[in-house]
Amino acid sequence: MTVNEIADLKQHSEYLVQQIERLKRSKQYFEQGYRQQQQLISCQTQQPMAIDDPNILSVFAPSGYWAAIGEQKSGKLRINQLLSGVVSETCLQAPTLIASKQ
């Protein structure tokens, strides 16, 4: 990698950290899930979850998988922003950036 490529990656990572901190301060977080029969399943927990307005997903998630930014209200996910650019047919997995020794 060149010095410029490393500098670009550093700049992007700093931006992402700022975005995550902004979401954290406003008590919002990234959530992804999928439909299984009549339930919405969280990709993170693999457990059923409740959404305050499940109809919002019917238009958006033709494959059944969805990703959103939201917050917990009264035990339900309140979706503030559907991430339409995240199109997947599986749950997204964060990459392993640093291998750990076993």
pLDDT tens by residue, 57-85: 776 665 578 888 888 888 888 888 888 76
Predicted confidence band of residue 99 (pLDDT cuts 50, 70, 90): low
How many residues comprise the chain? 102
Q: Where are the domains of the chain?
A: 3-82
Can you give the pTM of this predicted structure? 0.63
Residue partners of 67: CB distance under 8 A and separation at least 6: 30, 31, 32, 82, 83, 86, 88, 92
Q: Which pLDDT tens digit goes with each residue over 18-59?
A: 887 887 888 888 888 888 877 888 888 899 888 888 777 776
Burial class (CB in 10 A: 0-12, 13-18, 19+), 68: buried
21/68 Cα distance (integer angstroms): 17
